[in-house]
Chain A
Amino acid sequence: MVLFVLAIIVIIIIAASNQKKPQTVTKTLAKPKPTPEPNIRVTITKKDESIIDVSGQSQKLDTSSYQSNSTNSNTQYYQPQYQGYNQNDYRLGNVYKSKLLLSAQEVSWLNKFWNPNNVFLSIEGCCIETIKLYLATLKELNKHLKKSESTIAKEVETLLSLIKGTYTGSTTYWSYDKENYEAEMFSVIFKRCESQVREAWGHKRKIATDFSNSNSSVLIAFNTKIGNPVDAILKEITGSISNPDLKTEEQLNIQNTSRWKIKFDQLTKSFVDSKKQDFIDGIFELEKRNQKNPNIENIFFESSKFISKFDKKEALKFYIYYIHYDLKSTTFDNKQLTKTIQKSLFKNPEELIGFEKIISDLIKTKNLPLALDSLKQIYEPKRKKINLDVSAIKIVQAQDKNTVDLLSEYLEDEPANQEEIALRIEVEHQPQTHRYFKDFKLNDNQIGLLNLFNENDLNLPFSEMDTFCKSKSIFKNQLIESINEVCYDKLDDVLIEEGDGHYEISEIYFTKILDQ
């Protein structure tokens, strides 16, 4: 009899282990190899309904010896007892209970589902922030439910009952599926919190946060009782999400290589010319947080483009940083600023050439401090040294002397040509004797006009000039021109000049034309 009972027990244990073991193994494989805490006991804390009583007797199995001393009835799992290994250790509550000084309730909430595993939560900072938000949300949810004299546990229980009512599977598996449904409910809350943290921290990739159940009444009930209140709570408490620390940001920026653009856009939108230092500081803060980002050089390239409108020197500085990080990247793109930006940055070709030299030196030496130092002088007005060449000056002087001689020769008064002389000889018919320079060979009309000037204190009104010319039947302009022409050689200037309503002769010039 005893042997028979023992045989039945062995069969039952084998059957049970065949059902549970594969899942356990699968989940275990998904986890990294842990270092189990000592003194952890794996226990069966609940009556296993998968055990089939084949004894035919009413005597029930005594499972009291497997009773857990744990207070959390929800974390009852069948666990094979491997030496030093407990997969429950990797549930979030157990992992973080010491680190985050979690209460038993908090540990329990976190242990409700398997440790979710994704790239975002693999960053510890992200995981902790999500946990904090999850716990805060559940506390708020509890407060919210308390108003209707309920609790999360009660609501979950109600939902499980509802699900059970629609459950189509074998009752044999209900116990197992019930745990899964419960885990799913808490997991959805956790995912919604994670989603909020992702959004707040600029992690682009989204995750599914819907509760999955084919039955619409279950879905409605879940959303009414849990889903919608959680969303409302999250909306209110999202602001409490703190900023990621440096280490977390570095990790986030590795995963999202263009995550810097969010902060960059904020910086450009809030840019004020008078506070451009804020922008500059912001860019260098971004640099710090993107040290491990393979696209870090683009931060500086875009910054250079943006600031070029406001601060030429900073634009060049950012471009130097761009080249510096581009050189460190896997491929050296060496992107050039557009021609328009180049035109705005460099007033003259010298400045452009100077900057190109700094860049080519940077590429050669990879010496960032040296390049930044060289940049200081780029817009400094370069003092041109005037170098004079004594031999060239002598040549210029010699050429100039020849030119002056040549021009002086051409600027000398030419002797009147033969035709004019012949003409004038006829005009100068029997000239009067006069007191003017004899070489002038003045005719009677010219002498008459000069005498008239002399009689009128070298100042002759237009009317008197007209009267004189009419009396002689000669052209006024021609008479004046002829006298001026004759005297030009001696005076090197015009003798009779037109004034306001009169003609005049300078006294000095008049003295000069007298025959002395």
Chain B
Amino acid sequence: MIENLKPKEATAIVNSLLGGVVPRIGVQHITVGRSEEVEAFIRALDDVKNGHSMAKFWIGDFGSGKSFMLHLLNTVALKQKFVVATADFTPENRLYSNDGKATVLYSSIMDNIAIQTKPEGGALSTLLEKWIDQIIAKTADENHIAISDIRNAQYVRLIQDNIMKTINELTDVGGFDFGLVVVKYYEGYINDDEILRRNALKWLKGEYKTKTEARQDLGVREIINDLNYYDMLKNFCRLFVSMGYSGFMINLDEAINLYKISTAVMREKNYEKILTIYNDCFQGKINNLFINFAGTKDFLENERRGLFSYQALKSRLESNKFETAEIRDFAQPVIKLLPLDHNEIFVLLNKLKFVFDFNYKVNIDISDNDIQAFMEEIFNKPGASEFLTPREVIRDFLNILSIIRQNPNIDKRSLFQNIEIKDERPVELALDTIEEL
């Protein structure tokens, strides 16, 4: 029996997990075995809401649930009125570069900005308009102008000045151009100039490649580039908080791509950027910013190429020496995700059986012993020890439930025996064969 399970959540859980993805709603019902991790990030989230900043590193092997945890963070943070942005590190983007790859990462973050009412991303324009709307209301209030009149043409200048003033108050570096671009966005809106609005958004997303182009389109001198994008992210963070949001959460997955950078100097520069972010967060240089990195053990601990190759980070990120597999410390910046044990998987499958029954209003004939038999079968399949992940266990289990629902007389044991598992790990070169330049 699961308390508080809503029908909509049950449907989302079953459909999403059958498709191998994390459900958008009801995710709290499938966090079995991650209680301490959840408590740790809830505490962190509360801290960030209260004005602190945080950098967390989610470390685990393939299939250990890093992406699931980031998704859960995302969902909870959206509900907690955070602006959330997610991006994956790829060979084409990184934190530091001098060939535009850092700007690509920034663009990817800005493209994926999500809020509760726009969880799928692309919320930058909505946020911008919301903020301008607030400035308009504030201007009307400050100048004792009726809210119905403030949008009249004679007050445009007043609103523009207020935008610039507020932006200058909020921002550190690059505030003037930032403010100017927001004013351009507002101009585009009141003059019904869609191109101007798009260009302003293009600038804010870091999509201008040259200053000349930006000057021609918007009349600004600067563009967002590899060197200043992090300042812009901090500016946005302040802007979102000023709008009433709890904070700005940035989730960066697949950090192994930083480990794979073949040039030692470039890799070190990227780790230096992580150190800057880490220091900003924990030294109080920025408020309400929550940055999460997810990567494998190699990314963190490899002394030659991982974060531990950078001494300043190693000393900050090393595990509490008193921590063991049984006695964990989740208050550290690094949270290691251990694989779920059999008892936890059993509880998870048991819950899923209930969710399935609840969703289809049936009572599938699967007992605890059947679940145990299913587990025994799937964990004994060839390759299970190397690449079987909870994602696949869950998907196969739900598929079997689905077959039994539609064919109640089918032999369950033969279904269990027919399971085949596949290696779903990304096809890539072995990490230790990466060429060092």
Contacts and interface: CB of A to CB of B under 8 A. Distances in A.
A152 B344 CA distance: 97
A478 B130 contact: yes
B188 to A, nearest CB: 11
Contacts of B27: 407
Contact of B147 (A410, A426, A475, A494): A426
A484 B125 CA distance: 15
A485 B117 CA distance: 6
B126 interface: yes
A348 B383 CA distance: 11
Contact of A381 (B75, B137, B382): B382
A477 interface: yes
A414 B245 CA distance: 12
B295 to A, nearest CB: 24
B42 interface: yes
Nearest to B79: A411
B28 A407 contact: yes
A471 to B, nearest CB: 11
Given A388-B372, A402-B35, A410-B79, A417 B244 contact: yes
Contacts of B134: 423
Contact of A429 (B147, B192, B342): B147
A492 B117 contact: no
A29 interface: no
Interface in B145-169: 146-148, 151
B76 interface: yes
Given A400-B347, A404-B28, A485 B129 contact: no
Nearest to B342: A386
B379 to A, nearest CB: 6
Nearest to A443: B147
A98 to B, nearest CB: 69
A399 B36 CA distance: 9
Nearest to A484: B117
Contact of B28 (A348, A381, A408, A476): A408
Interface residues of B, number: 60
Most buried by B among A386, A396, A423, A488: A386
Given A389-B343, A423-B134, A481-B130, A348 B385 contact: yes
B129 A475 contact: yes
A413 B140 CA distance: 30
Contact of A492 (B25, B146, B372): B25
A388 B117 contact: no
A470 B25 contact: no
A396 B347 contact: yes
B116 A485 contact: yes
A419 B117 contact: no
Contact of B244 (A403, A412, A419, A475): A419
A406 B376 contact: no
B137 A403 contact: no
Interface in B399-416: none
A393 interface: yes
A397 B341 CA distance: 13
Contacts of A389: 343
Given A414-B80, A426-B137, A396 B147 contact: no
Contacts of B141: 426
A473 B129 CA distance: 12
Nearest to B146: A429
B147 A399 contact: no
A404 B31 contact: yes
A411 B28 contact: yes
Interface in B63-117: 72, 75-76, 79-81, 115-117
B199 to A, nearest CB: 17
Interface in A64-113: none
Interface string A409-427: 0111110010110010011
B213 interface: no
B254 to A, nearest CB: 25
B38 A406 contact: yes
A514 to B, nearest CB: 20
B380 interface: yes
A367 to B, nearest CB: 30
B375 interface: yes
Contact of A393 (B28, B39, B72, B346): B346
Contacts of A269: none
Interface string A488-509: 1000111000000000000000
A474 B136 CA distance: 10
A376 interface: no
Nearest to A416: B244
A479 to B, nearest CB: 9
B133 A475 contact: yes
Contact of B189 (A385, A402, A475): A475
Nearest to A487: B117
A385 B115 CA distance: 46
Nearest to A485: B117
B51 interface: no
A388 B151 CA distance: 67
Nearest to A389: B343
A481 B38 contact: no
A384 interface: yes
A420 B243 CA distance: 9
A206 interface: no
Contacts of A381: 380, 382
B56 to A, nearest CB: 17
A396 B146 CA distance: 59
Given A477-B126, A481-B118, A481-B130, A408 B4 contact: yes
A477 B201 CA distance: 14
Given A404-B4, A410-B42, A492-B8, A396 B28 contact: no
B39 A406 contact: yes
B334 interface: no
Interface string B211-244: 0000000000000000000000000000000001
B34 interface: yes
A400 B29 CA distance: 8
Given A384-B380, A407-B38, A410-B80, A477 B129 contact: yes
B376 A400 contact: no
B28 A494 contact: no
B432 interface: no
A402 B35 CA distance: 8
B75 A411 contact: yes
A385 to B, nearest CB: 7
A387 interface: yes
Nearest to B148: A429
Given A384-B379, A404-B4, A426-B147, A478 B343 contact: no
B76 A407 contact: yes
A14 interface: no
Nearest to B39: A406
Interface string B19-41: 00000010111011111001100
B261 interface: no
Contacts of B79: 410-414
Interface in B1-30: 2-4, 6, 8, 25, 27-29
B244 A478 contact: no
Contacts of B25: 492
Interface of B: 2-4, 6, 8, 25, 27-29, 31-35, 38-39, 42, 45, 72, 75-76, 79-81, 115-118, 125-126, 129-130, 132-134, 137, 140-141, 146-148, 151, 189-190, 192, 244, 341-344, 346-347, 351, 372, 375-376, 379-380, 382, 385
Smallest CB-CB A-B distances: 9 pairs = A407-B28, A475-B129, A473-B151, A478-B129, A399-B35, A484-B117, A477-B126, A403-B35, A392-B343
15 contacts: A381-B382, A383-B376, A393-B347, A400-B347, A404-B2, A406-B38, A407-B42, A410-B76, A423-B137, A473-B151, A475-B132, A475-B189, A478-B132, A481-B126, A488-B117
Given A386-B342, A407-B27, 12 more contacts: A386-B376, A408-B4, A408-B28, A410-B80, A420-B244, A473-B151, A477-B126, A477-B130, A478-B132, A480-B126, A488-B116, A493-B8
